Structure 1
Amino acid sequence: MFELRLVAPEDRVETLCDALDALQALSVSVEDADADTSAERALFGEPGLPAPAQGWARSSLVALFAHENEAREAARLLAPQDFFAGCAVASLGPVAEQDWVRLTQSQFAPVEVAPGFWIVPTWHEVPDGARQVMRLDPGLAFGTGTHPTTQMCLRWIARQRMQGQRVLDYGCGSGILAIGAALHGAGEIDAVDIDPDAVAATQGNAAANGARVRSGLPEAASGLYDVVLANILASPLKVLAPLLCGHVAAGGHLVLAGVLERQTQELQTAYAPWLALQVADTQDGWVLLTAQRPA
């Protein structure tokens, strides 16, 4: 595999990305060309929202090609184009071979989410003193136990009496919340997601933990549940308000995560026609919102 690295002003980034895509680049990533210098500029968007600009004042575009001749031909064809004015080829060369699976796995370590309750990736040893363990392989799905929203949900589950309760994990990702509920005694558990990869990851992780979880697409959710969990983001949570509240049984709990502290009132207002949300936990700028339907 070969890497073609270009430097371009902000207003040329989108055009160059389109051109590289047309030239059969396998992927194109954009970075700050001034990273780690005094000219470095933060560029990011709030969770669930687009970044405020297409690129940095000086952006570095990294295009990957399967073969060297393709990378060289792309550089040759781009150079005379009008839109390449102000841009430059920074480098072109082979990509060093790496064990990408091992590199990805190295980013995840065991994490204690509640006293004695650990999330342990399948490639790690169980820590000494762990009383309750969830073995997890996130696969292509979101959910490793490291994010504050996931940790708050799991802490809430660990504090509850889940024995025999019917649980819905809506937007299950890797299945981490559904499995957490199973390990704490929940009975019938449905885990649903719009992403088939998440459904597959949940099935595999549930089996690895001996947890009885039924996973599927959102239409698999049916009827009323004692606990409805949804760790998504504020915007989809607002849209899903009537659907999620409609699944909460009398005396049942609704647990929402993926909400920033500044979005608390917005979510409380959206859910007010059905349930009164309260802040149950906070961590690193995120909140956990819960409500209980009267019995």
Structure 2
Amino acid sequence: MYELSLMCPEDRVETLSDALDALDALSVSVEDADAQTDAEQALFGEPGMPPPKDGWQRSRVLALFTQEAQAREAVELLAAQDFFASCQVLGVAAVPDQDWVRLTQSQFAPVDITPDFWIVPTWHEPPAEATRVIRLDPGLAFGTGTHPTTRMCLRWIARQAATPGLGRVLDYGCGSGILAMGAAKFGATDIDAVDIDMAAVESTEYNAKANGVQLNAGLPDKATGCYQTVLANILATPLKVLAPLLCNHVADGGHLVLAGILERQAQELKDAYAPYLALSVADTEDGWILMTGAR
């Protein structure tokens, strides 16, 4: 494969990307040309929502082609376009062959939730001290145990399971199903895991089977009645919208556990849930917080 590297301003990123796609590029990616310098710009957007901007003021656009001739031809065709006047060709280079599977696997190591509870990819052996293990590989759905929000939820599950237990459990926005499986590993036997994305539902079913866990996965209408434990690791904005729905699922004496919230968003969530439950911060990690409430 061959990589064509281009530089362009923010207002040309979309046009240039579309042109490269039309020229049969295998993939097109955009990165900050000033990354790792004082001029680096951070761009944050919520999953499922349009990005705040198409690129950076100095964007590096990288396109992969099967043949060098394709990349060179793309350069010639792009150079003749009016929109390319403010863009620059940085070069065409061969991409060395790599074992991409092994490279990807090397980025995921076992993750400890507690000293004896671990999330372990299938290509690793569980640590000797692990008495509870979830086998989980990176996939299409969110939740591999590496993100602070997931770890905080799993830590809460491990603590709560000791006394008085988890009871009936709802994992709302289940992603990979990791929280539902964590609840099962700590004794929960009546578990519903729901998500609006069928890919997440299928991922949860696959992961549950691979881990020997019994749960009910489905779309949100699968969640019925009240639960002793309601878990939702999503993001602050949808969590605010879901406040009445989630709280309605919490049984008397039950617990609501929310994650995907930044520290600065704590008061927003408290205000949104105040008509239903009083929330408090139960855990923090790397700028993220876990919020809980009890009925």
- TM-score, normalised to structure 1, is 0.92
Tell me, in whole angstroms, the C-alpha distance in 2 between the residues paired with 1:57 and 1:200: 40
Query: Structure 2: which amino acid aligns with 1:129?
Result: E
Q: Which moved more, 1:40-49 or 1:190-199?
A: 40-49
Q: Which residue in the other structure is 1:44 paired with? A: 43
* Pairwise CA distance, 1:111: 1.2
* Pairwise CA distance, 1:56: 2.6
1:22-61 matches, within 5 Å, as 22-36=22-36, 38=37, 40-45=39-44, 52-61=52-61
- TM-score, normalised to structure 2, is 0.92
Q: What is the aligned-residue RMSD (CA, Å)? A: 2.0
Residue aligned with 1:160, SS: helix
Q: Which moved more, 1:277-286 or 1:71-80?
A: 71-80
Residue aligned with 2:86, SS: coil
* Pairwise CA distance, 1:280: 0.8
1:86-132 Cα distance to aligned partner (Å, 9 max, x none) = 21222224433222222222111111111311111111111121122
- 1:3/1:65 contact within 8 Å kept: yes
> How many aligned residue pairs are there?
292
Residue aligned with 2:142, SS: coil
Q: Which residue in the other structure is 2:159 paired with? A: 159
1:1-295 matches, within 5 Å, as 1-36=1-36, 38=37, 40-45=39-44, 52-161=52-161, 163=165, 165-293=167-295
* Pairwise CA distance, 1:25: 2.6
Residue aligned with 1:85, SS: helix
- 1:43/1:52 contact within 8 Å kept: no
1:170-212 Cα distance to aligned partner (Å, 9 max, x none) = 1111111000000000021111112222222211221122111
- 2:240/2:269 contact within 8 Å kept: yes
Residue aligned with 1:238, SS: helix
- 1:138/1:201 contact within 8 Å kept: no
- 1:173/1:193 contact within 8 Å kept: yes
Structure 2's unaligned 5+ residue stretches are none
- 1:277/1:289 contact within 8 Å kept: yes
- Tell me the percent identity: 67
* Pairwise CA distance, 1:291: 0.7
Tell me, in whole angstroms, the C-alpha distance in 2 between the residues paired with 1:126 and 1:249: 36
Query: Structure 2: which amino acid aligns with 1:147?
Result: H
